[in-house]
Amino acid sequence: MIPGRLAWLRPLVWLALPLALTGCAEIAYRIALPILYSEVEIPEAQVVRDIAYRDDPAADPHKHRLDLFLPFAEVGSNGTGWPVLVFVHGGSWTSGDKGLRVGGADVYGNIGRFFAARGVGVAVISYRLQPEVAWRAQVDDVERAVAWLRENVAAWGGDGRAIFLSGHSAGAQLATWVALDPAAPPVCGLIAVSGAGFDLADEETYALGASRDFYEDRFGDGSPDGTWTESASIVRWARPHLPPALILYAEKDPRSLQRQALLLDAALRSQGAETRVVVVPGQSHTSIVLTLSRADRGATPVMLEFIRAVNRSSRC
């Protein structure tokens, strides 16, 4: 939250942040980013960029890529290796990239550097976007990235069994789908940040302001009689023996998104899953991701505690 002595800046911050993700990055940077975003530095030798996680003839040379942030400069490990946080960017399923910069700020790369500086490896991934591909292909991209890391991250010192899957907004929806899908590679834990579209059949979500047309454009698949709302809903995958989940949303998130977070939590709890909901005070849907690389505020301390606790346990 903004300190009391800077409270007069709060209206400017909420005005500037939407500009950051809609093109007016320089204005937003001057007004808001210095307050919310804190640059993290690690040696460049601890960053491996543009690794192809899919290299078959159908691979997209620009989107089937990830950046890997290493906790240690050395290659290899004598122990079990460090845990790996896989971060999936947002962007309404139609935009975004692992290399997003807002007013010069390396938003997702900074998340990678933050956690790597604290002993957690991070893979920030890109994936193909709609409308060039359908949503199921986007899920497949995230699955392939996780599978690649499980098989290959040990070469850099990571533990392929200790993978935590996370994302923001649309990225949280994709991460959650993969974490719950019984056919997907297993993960150690899920961290969903201000996610959307967990239960597309929930009428109350639309009553609270969510656009049915918006979701049908992305998940409709031409299904007759609105059956897409069921087939594209992640909550149907809730079942026993799922990985632990940390569900975060911003205090200033739209009420429809807050409800979606609570619906996901309820679906997981109904199957006996270990789940926790945290409301991040003072943050909006945009600012929550800009503060994911700060130790002194927002969701980050809770995320780090969750990863460490689960990794210490026998659940990975």
Measured CA to CA, the distance from residue 12 to residue 53 in angstroms comes to 40
Poorest-pLDDT segment among 13-17, 68-72, 127-131, 273-277: 13-17
Poorest-pLDDT segment among 19-28, 33-42, 77-86, 298-307: 19-28
Percentage above 70 pLDDT, the chain: 86
* One domain, residues 23 and 136: no
* One domain, residues 26 and 81: no
* One domain, residues 202 and 156: yes
Residue 4 half-sphere exposure, CB side, CA atoms within 13 Å? 0
**What are the residues whose beta carbons fall under 8 Å from the beta carbon of 262, sequence distance 6 or more?**
277
* One domain, residues 127 and 1: no
- Give this prediction's pTM: 0.89
- Mean pLDDT comparison of 42-56, 95-109, 220-234, highest-scoring range: 42-56
* One domain, residues 123 and 256: yes
What is the pLDDT, as a whole number, of residue 40?
Answer: 92
* One domain, residues 171 and 295: yes
Q: pLDDT-derived band of residue 17, with 50, 70 and 90 as boundaries?
A: very low
* One domain, residues 294 and 147: yes
pLDDT in tens, 160-205: 999 999 999 999 999 999 999 999 999 999 999 999 999 999 999 9
* One domain, residues 142 and 162: yes
Domain count, the chain: 2
pLDDT in tens, 248-277: 999 999 999 999 999 999 999 999 999 999
* One domain, residues 68 and 204: yes
Range of the domain at 24: 1-36
* One domain, residues 184 and 51: yes
Higher pLDDT, 114 or 6: 114
Q: pLDDT-derived band of residue 119, with 50, 70 and 90 as boundaries?
A: very high
Going by their DSSP bridges, the two strands 65-69 and 121-125 should be labelled as antiparallel
pLDDT in tens, 44-91: 999 999 999 999 999 999 999 999 999 975 544 445 799 999 999 999
> Concatenated DSSP letters for 54-101?
--STT--TTTSEEEEE-SSSSSS-SSS-EEEEEEE--STTTS--TT-E
For residue 209, what is the domain's CATH number? 3.40.50.1820
